[in-house]
Amino acid sequence: MSPTLHSYLEEKTLYIEKHLQGLLEREGVPGSLYESMAYSLMAGGKRLRPMLVLAVLEALDKPLERGIPYAAALEMIHTYSLIHDDLPAMDDDDLRRGKPTNHKVYGEATAILAGDALLTRAFGLIAEAYSNHPEVKPETVVSLIAELAKRAGARGMVGGQMADIEGEGKQLSLEELEYIHRHKTGDLLIAALIGGGYLAEATESQMAALARYGRMIGLAFQIQDDILNVEGDAVQLGKAVGSDADRKKATYPSLLGMDESKQRLLQLVSDAKGVLRDVGLGNSALIPLADYVIERKK
Amino acid sequence: MSPTLHSYLEEKTLYIEKHLQGLLEREGVPGSLYESMAYSLMAGGKRLRPMLVLAVLEALDKPLERGIPYAAALEMIHTYSLIHDDLPAMDDDDLRRGKPTNHKVYGEATAILAGDALLTRAFGLIAEAYSNHPEVKPETVVSLIAELAKRAGARGMVGGQMADIEGEGKQLSLEELEYIHRHKTGDLLIAALIGGGYLAEATESQMAALARYGRMIGLAFQIQDDILNVEGDAVQLGKAVGSDADRKKATYPSLLGMDESKQRLLQLVSDAKGVLRDVGLGNSALIPLADYVIERKK
């Protein structure tokens, strides 16, 4: 990773995390529920979805603070999905980002409720917070919520997780695998980019480019995840490696082979950058962020 | 129950159920996820929250169809909360409305995801559907979503459920019991009434009265629930009776005694009706609906 990208990521992560916890409701919330929500929300992570929102605003010369409520909502939804995915009835994971998973610390019932509350708060936050941003019209707020619900729901992220669970232990085709990843991982990245586009008043062609870029880096992200599950380092990753093979899970390396997977990864990232250059966004942080998807070790 | 109220409830239930399932997304949703969502959403029930939305619109001479998306969203949130509450890690119930609970039919993972997807769809539906209702301003849509998220989230329904779980097996004070019920049951009824008020362009004093009415019938509803768990009929209820006592759960009858509980019930319903009469809503269906809370046998 270049030193510039490294310091960019660090600075933006700090900026995001400075706001994140304060945007949870605390007053009137049972203490254990609040703690469980904050535990997972503040457990680190790449903050990639918020980062993408801010990068779109930056690329279009708009104030970053305008992106904060929507960026935080995305991170809350991403966090809830991890809490629920880790549950014993789902992936049954004990470790996430190097720490015990939510239900290991707070118990299953609290983990389920913390996920539900984070998901609910995400929508409430968007609806509430933009009343302090007169430059963001109510029509835009409604569009943000519609986009986020579509990408996070039954046709999006939740649908992808469902297909993933149903596919476990089965021989999947590449098409089926791509369906899973397009929705499970890709849709929320697209929601970050499209929502950022709404907030930054992007043109129609820029919106289309942001969505295409999102779809490509979403797929690249997942291929890299699969590769790291084979070649990565458990300490850096904060979770076990080799677990996909143990579970006989279909992955890009298992379906395409490692070389072909790596080649596809490079192609996707190169295409994603090309799409942005075509609409005048070639000088933005979105370009190194696409590289980051491949270069990351966790 | 009077024959008039009976036919009113029947007619409105049909009207609500005619729209409900069609407002789920189906295209692009994994089949088993859709089925699991529809199974619980269409499993019957009193449809009390949608009914309250429609009754407010009716009381203020506004078209009922304006209430449908919001009413359906409330019922989706109510349904998701039942699916998650029934899970083995929570109340571990096998039966709901006389049918096997969601996870008994579809398994735990699907039940968790179906709940998540219903919750997400609720917000997406409100954000999407009102673009076809030019008489409902985007500002109003944002207010509906903010209100619903506040009442359904960590400070509302989810918080109430958390407190309920933490209180199990403990000796609760009446104050703690009321905290639980105000949030677990009451908040979503209040959201129905306040949201209905937004959609019907209620005056400020009417809004305040609707919220007070909601708080009182919410409490009455829960006291009646507790009474039915002692004196009710398992077949009519579609669930086991005596389960609160078995679990040593704090209830109104256990804390106040049966006579005092019944007296409090009558007082609450009488006060709730008085509050509405004071703001000119004394001739609306909201009056018999308050009686229904006491008279219901399920």
pLDDT tens string B222-250: 999 899 988 877 777 666 777 777 777 88
Share of residues in chain B with pLDDT > 70 (%): 98
pLDDT tens string A176-222: 999 999 999 999 999 999 999 999 999 999 999 999 999 999 999 99
The answer to whether the CB of B226 falls within 8 A of the CB of B244 is yes
Q: Measured between alpha carbons, how far is residue B209 from residues A187, B183, B205, B274, B288 in Å? A: 42, 18, 6, 10, 16
Residue A243 has pLDDT above 90, yes or no: no
Q: What per-residue confidence (pLDDT) applies to A213?
A: 97
Residue B298 has pLDDT above 90, yes or no: no
Cβ of A24 within 8 Å of Cβ of B162? The answer is no
Q: Which amino acid is at A27?
A: E
- Maximum average pLDDT range among A51-55, B45-49, B288-292: A51-55
Q: Which amino acid is at B12?
A: K
The answer to whether the CB of A66 falls within 8 A of the CB of A133 is yes
Cβ of A159 within 8 Å of Cβ of B29? The answer is yes
Residue B296 forms contact with A (CB below 8 Å): no
Share of residues in chain A with pLDDT > 90 (%): 80
Say how far apart CA B174 and CA A101 lie, in whole Å: 35
Residue A107 forms contact with B (CB below 8 Å): yes
Q: How confident is the model at residue B290 (pLDDT cuts 50, 70, 90)?
A: very high
Q: What per-residue confidence (pLDDT) applies to A148?
A: 98
DSSP one-letter code for A21: G
Say how far apart CA B84 and CA B90 lie, in whole Å: 7
Q: Which residues in chain A are contacts of B168 at CB distance < 8 A? A: none
Mapped onto helix, strand or coil, the DSSP state of residue A95 is: strand
The answer to whether the CB of A287 falls within 8 A of the CB of A216 is no
Q: What per-residue confidence (pLDDT) applies to A257?
A: 93
Interface size, chain A vs chain B, as Cβ–Cβ contacts under 8 Å: 169
H or E segment and range at residue A99 = strand A99-100
Average pLDDT over residues B129-140: 95
pLDDT tens string B51-105: 999 999 999 999 999 999 999 999 999 999 999 999 999 999 999 988 999 999 9
Q: What per-residue confidence (pLDDT) applies to B139?
A: 97
What number of other Cβ atoms are within 10 A of residue A135's Cβ? 11
Residue A165 has pLDDT above 80, yes or no: yes
pLDDT tens string A108-129: 999 999 999 999 999 999 999 9
Q: Which residues in chain B are contacts of A121 at CB distance < 8 A? A: 149, 153-154
Chain A interface, best mutation among B120, B131, B145, by max A CB count within 10 A:
B120
- In total, chain A counts a number of residues equal to 298
Say how far apart CA B276 and CA B287 lie, in whole Å: 8
Distance between B41 CA and the closest CA of chain A, angstroms: 14
Is the model more confident about A230 or about B298?
A230
Q: What per-residue confidence (pLDDT) applies to A294?
A: 82
Residue A238 has pLDDT above 90, yes or no: no
- Specify the range with the lowest mean pLDDT, choosing from A107-121, A129-143, A272-286, B238-252: B238-252
Domain annotation for chain B: domains and CATH numbers: 3-295 (1.10.600.10)
**Phi (first) and psi of residue A130, to 5 degrees:** -75, -5
Cβ neighbours of residue B195 closer than 8 Å, sequence gap 6 or more: B53, B70, B74, B144, B147, B148
DSSP one-letter code for B131: G
Residue A102 forms contact with B (CB below 8 Å): no
Q: What per-residue confidence (pLDDT) applies to A231?
A: 87
Q: How confident is the model at residue A3 (pLDDT cuts 50, 70, 90)?
A: confident
Q: Which of residues 183-212 of A touch B (CB under 8 A)?
A: none
Cβ of B166 within 8 Å of Cβ of A32? The answer is yes
Distance between B160 CA and the closest CA of chain A, angstroms: 8
The answer to whether the CB of B160 falls within 8 A of the CB of A116 is no
The beta-strand segments (E) located in chain B are: 95-96, 99-100
Average pLDDT over residues B15-33: 95
Share of residues in chain B with pLDDT > 90 (%): 80
Q: How confident is the model at residue A169 (pLDDT cuts 50, 70, 90)?
A: confident
Residue A21 forms contact with B (CB below 8 Å): no
The answer to whether the CB of A20 falls within 8 A of the CB of A75 is yes
Say how far apart CA A281 and CA B96 lie, in whole Å: 54
pLDDT tens string B158-211: 999 999 999 988 889 999 999 999 999 999 999 999 999 999 999 999 999 999
